[in-house]
Amino acid sequence: MSQRVVVTYAAPLVFLSTDHWKQIYASLVSQLPLRNLHWKSPSRPTIRTIQELDVKLTPLETLRDDQTASQVPQSVLEKPLLNIYVFICEDSEAYKATTRKQIKDWHASITQRKNQEWLLVHVVRPDQSVAQGRLFQMKTSVLDKVKADFNTDKKDRCVQLVWSADKDNPTVWADLISKIKEGILSAFDAALTQREEEVRRSESQRQMPGWNFCTFFILKESLASSLEGMNLYEDALQQYYELEATFFQVLREKNLSWFGPFITPSSSDDSAPLLSATKKPYRDLILANTISVFDFRVYLLARQCALLSKLGDLEQICRKTVTFLTTFGRTLRDVEDTLPPFFIESWVYSSALSVVDQCDEWARPLEWGKNAAARYSAVKGELVELARHQLDILGIAAHHLPRRPPFSLALPADYDASKEAQVTDASQTISKAELTSALEDSDRFYELYVSVTNRAIELYVSAGRRKFALKLHGSLAALDVHRGRLSTALQTYTSLPAHYSPHGWTSLEAFMLNRALDIHAAAEKPKDREWIHILLHFLRAYVDDLGKDLLLSKQDSEAYVGRLVMALKDAAHELDSDTPYPDHPALSMSIADYDAKLAETRDGSLLKVVVQNRLPCELPVDEVELQLSGRENSRISFTDKVSRLAPGRNELTLFCPSSSAGTYTLFSTQISVARLHFQWKHAKTPKQIRVGHVPTLVHVPRDLKALDVRLKQPPRMELGTPATVMLILSTGRNDVATARVQLNAPSGIQFKYQEADVGGDDAPPMRKEHDSVTFLDLKRGQTVVATVPHSDASAYHFMRVSVTVEYVTTSEPDFTRTLRLSRVVATALPVAIVVEDFFRGTRLFTRFTLSTTSHQHVRVRSTQLLSPNEADGVKVTSCLTQKSSVMTITPAQPGRFLFQMDANRGQVRDPLQLQISYRMLREEVESLIELAVGEVVSETPALDDSRQDMVDKLVQALETDASWVELYGVTGELVVPGVTPADDLVGSGLRRVLQVLSRCRSPISFGEWREIVIPVDVPQIHIVAAARLQILENPFSMEKSEKRALPLYAGQPISALLTVHTSFHWAPPEDTKVESYMMRYDIEDLTQDWLVSGRKRGDFLAKDGETFSVPITLIALHHGELALPKIGVTALPIPGEHRMRSNVVPGCEAHQVHGAEKVLVLPRGGRTTFVVNMGPANTSM
């Protein structure tokens, strides 16, 4: 129904017959269609943009007169919207003579036409012989005359077209095309406004006698056709929506006198394309008031969908069609008796598939995004599924399908079984050939049924609607069962529940699995692994409420499930390998007591759990297991051998042979039936913990009487020797036959088990392997101490070691226990050592500064600097008085130790050894607490079981509050803060321990001390220089007097003597034969205090034990106590010796003998006059 905009053209007949006009016409047509038109209508709030408008250029004389036009309302585009007159006029005389009269005649005929615009186009053809200025003047004068004669309403309808060789340039046509757009929109707006007024006038008369809906429909539809012709599809679609609303209002008023019968089906109505608006003369039927409601609704839908297709909204087309076929099909059920047999099913089937085909054809030129394509496929799938529902109805009526779910779900509520006798007649009245043949032949029906279903499945899959696709797969499986294809049906029913379960479709899942079990039994297949999985999936659905009502094949569900469970047990024993099944809802396990209990008589702990059996019968099982997870992914397992689980709640006590204490999280649970394992994972991810899913915590207490392993640093550490770790294994209550120990450091440190060694007199036999060490025949209460060397760990301050002990006790020789522990061993030295050497002639002073490398305090008992070989001629003397007290090194207070060394010149000196006896304050306090607790326990043996609890409580109190440190460091009294003993046996023991700890004691009297041995090289240097600056009494005196008689004044020359004493005592042995070195002295330049006169800098020859001197003069620049200038002494390169292409410079260290001296300089004497202003004289007196 869409029409093109008509634009007429006229010109003088002579001009129309020329080639010039043909060129102009062809160029003008090439500028079409028009683009980017902006229409602003007073009746619409916003500007409408027309992206593209097709225009038809027609000669004016070919149009018919208005008197012969049809009286039926048509589109406003039936008549031209714009009339163009094209002329050529070269000068004003020609215009006056002929051209003006021709334009007037054309103008007179055009202005009589209503709602049409006109436009005069003056074509200018430039002449090569005419100057540009003159040509411009000529063109302007003709155009002005045309505008003056015809632009009477102040609207410019004249435009000039300069015809040149560049005629295809869009800028040449810009003015003309703009005027054409303006004229078309102006005329269209006027015509549309008039038509809208007519529609409003007709609609306002709806309640008056004689008003006709069909006449009103044709009138309003002309508006839609006009807007559609202008490519204003949304506005045109709105007109049809308003017409549909008016029709529904008329329908509610039950005033259908303007229509024919409700439906008069023709022979092809049940199979004709639904969206075809030309399959019937719908407008003629409407004008004749004989159109049926059925045809009217179909025509109205077809027109709406045609406009939606031009908008590219195919998704909306499919949605409207689904809604229309569903709702109007339900309306047709009311008059089904007047229709041919199965007319509704055939019409809905054909219409749905025809809409899908039509939309696919419209969709070919469109570009789809991913989401849009998915939505489009989804609604097409709904249409195809709607067609499939009609096949369900027809198949049941023709007895090709059984009347039971899922096929019977498509039957209407008022389905009459007597209609099944009309199937033979339906094959004569249904015009859809594929339906007719399907009703007559069951194989063709099944083929058609599967084809349509698969088509819907493909559309749903491409749309991402898995649930809808799976539902249709289930119907195909039901069809296979009906057709006796049990193997195919079993495969389908078995695969579908895995897709239903994630979406919570429990009822469908249970139905599918129940059908799968029945088909499996009917096919007499073995109860293998596949059958077990089908049964387990069925039991999963059964325990939910929606699943219990779907046991369609059995009346007594409990007995039925009981038989299945017993068959499951037999099938599980026949499995050839372990089969896990995760998260089955029929069983669940929870912890009843989150504090495990010790087994007391043997290593291990007990944990109470509750197993919930949601099945209505007993479940035979073999073992129940619960696994906990600790630090660094360590695992411990609690197990119990159980024969059966009763329905409901079952309380069990599980045993774990491991004595690994600590707080664990619930990791997994497992219930085993032969080789079938029901498993549940309980570990929480960090994301789950953040949203509030807190893991389940279980506390396993420490068993003080169980086997235990500790790792410590060796008591003596000597740098430069292989690193070792001390392994301490305590057997506790156990007589251990074998104990295999493995150490693993995550940092990559390798342990050398082949070099391990066991100390002590009662050392047990030991078997060394490349990856472990095994101790044999250990007695109850025995403690084994072994040293295990390891690779270099100096890059780490601490080494975290995972300890795994596999041991077998003599009381349970068939049971291997596994103990997993995590221990931290310090690898770095607890103190950092800074060495400072001070050479003073033949003596060397060495100062060691010890500072702690962590936040902990270090207790140092003694430091010694030892010479391993007294024959080296090195004598070491401590410069500090050795006291019996212990020094404490803190992060804020380092310790300093000074030693003096005397050595013979020229001898090779071996490295010395710095030996430090120390222990950590924490170790000292812990050992003191253990001693105090042991003393109290020896007095009260009943406290033996609470020994470790008391130690832990006291240590925790000391960790919480550090106020005890200062008092303990001074007096040795340990006052534990924040401990309030209870009024019981343990509380009285704690009070006694606190009393013991509060005694004053020396730290040397208890506990063990560690030693660090650090090699220290004896330093060497070629030259030791002692520089000195002495003040002399006079320039002629070369010695410093003990008492200076004359004072020193500022500005006075002062005689001084510079001396440098050199010593080669600490020179390397290979350089002892060198007798002299060239050296240089340089006096410090203190320009603010002193002026120096004399040799400020000079070279001299230095010899061992000799003194170089030079006199200088000093002048103090100001008075006060002044420090004397310092003297820099450096060695010069040795002539003739080179190393690595550079000069050899001997090592030299110089110290200032006068570095601490200061001289008093007095100010110079003299008289100074000051004038003081006393203010103005007082004349009042």
- Is 1149 in contact with 844 (CB distance < 8 Å)? no
Amino acid at 658: S
Q: Which run of H or E residues covers position 736?
A: strand 736-744
CA-to-CA separations, 1149 to 270, 1097, 1103, in angstroms, rounded: 117, 18, 15
Confidence of residue 1181 (pLDDT cuts 50, 70, 90): very low
Give the range with max mean pLDDT: 67-81, 154-168, 293-307, 915-929.
Answer: 293-307
Other beta carbons within 10 angstroms of residue 132's beta carbon come to 8
Cα 588 to Cα 613: distance, rounded to the nearest angstrom:
7
Closest-CA residue to 35 (of 54, 7, 59, 18): 54
Does the pLDDT of residue 552 top 50, yes or no?
no
Instruction: Between 882 and 1019, name the one with better pLDDT.
Output: 1019
What pLDDT score does 1091 carry? 92
Cα 571 to Cα 530: distance, rounded to the nearest angstrom:
11
Does the pLDDT of residue 950 top 60, yes or no?
yes
Confidence of residue 716 (pLDDT cuts 50, 70, 90): confident
Read off the pLDDT of each residue in 1130-1142 and give the average, rounded to a whole number.
78
What pLDDT score does 906 carry? 58
Read off the pLDDT of each residue in 1064-1093 and give the average, rounded to a whole number.
87
Give me the percent of the chain exceeding a pLDDT of 70.
90
What pLDDT score does 2 carry? 60
Cα 621 to Cα 1150: distance, rounded to the nearest angstrom:
90
Place of tokens 């994630």: 502
CA-to-CA separations, 1163 to 90, 890, 1049, 1088, 1124, in angstroms, rounded: 118, 50, 6, 16, 17
What pLDDT score does 1129 carry? 92
β-sheet bridge partners, residue 887: 860
Plot region of 1120 (φ>0 → left; ψ -120 to 50 → alpha; else → beta): left
Read off the pLDDT of each residue in 456-478 and give the average, rounded to a whole number.
87
Which burial class, exposed, middle or buried, applies to 100 when counting CB atoms under 10 A from its CB (0-12, 13-18, 19+)? middle
Using a cut of 0.85, tell me whether the model's pTM lies above it: no
For residue 274, report the phi and psi dihedrals to the nearest 5 degrees.
Answer: -65, -40
Cα 344 to Cα 357: distance, rounded to the nearest angstrom:
20
3-state secondary structure of 310: helix
Read off the pLDDT of each residue in 779-792 and give the average, rounded to a whole number.
90
Cα 689 to Cα 665: distance, rounded to the nearest angstrom:
13
3-state secondary structure of 1011: strand
Task: Assess whether the previous peptide bond of 33 is cis (omega < 30° from 0).
Answer: yes
Cα 756 to Cα 1172: distance, rounded to the nearest angstrom:
96
Confidence of residue 1039 (pLDDT cuts 50, 70, 90): low
Task: Assess whether the previous peptide bond of 406 is cis (omega < 30° from 0).
Answer: yes
Read off the pLDDT of each residue in 459-486 and give the average, rounded to a whole number.
84
What pLDDT score does 467 carry? 81
What pLDDT score does 473 carry? 82
- Is 540 in contact with 584 (CB distance < 8 Å)? yes
User: CA torsion sign, 1050 to 1051 to 1057 to 1063?
Assistant: positive
- Taking only the tens place, the pLDDT of each residue in 226-275 is 999 999 999 999 999 999 998 888 888 877 778 888 888 888 889 999 99
Instruction: Between 501 and 867, name the one with better pLDDT.
Output: 867
Q: Return the CA Rg of the chain.
A: 56
Q: In sequence order, what DSSP letters do the residues of 833-851 get, joined into one string?
A: EEEEEEEETTEEEEEEEEE
Does the pLDDT of residue 67 top 50, yes or no?
no
3-state secondary structure of 228: helix
Cα 1136 to Cα 1140: distance, rounded to the nearest angstrom:
13
Cα 1065 to Cα 873: distance, rounded to the nearest angstrom:
13
Does the pLDDT of residue 136 top 50, yes or no?
no
Closest-CA residue to 453 (of 510, 486, 406): 406
Cα 358 to Cα 355: distance, rounded to the nearest angstrom:
5
Does the pLDDT of residue 854 top 90, yes or no?
no
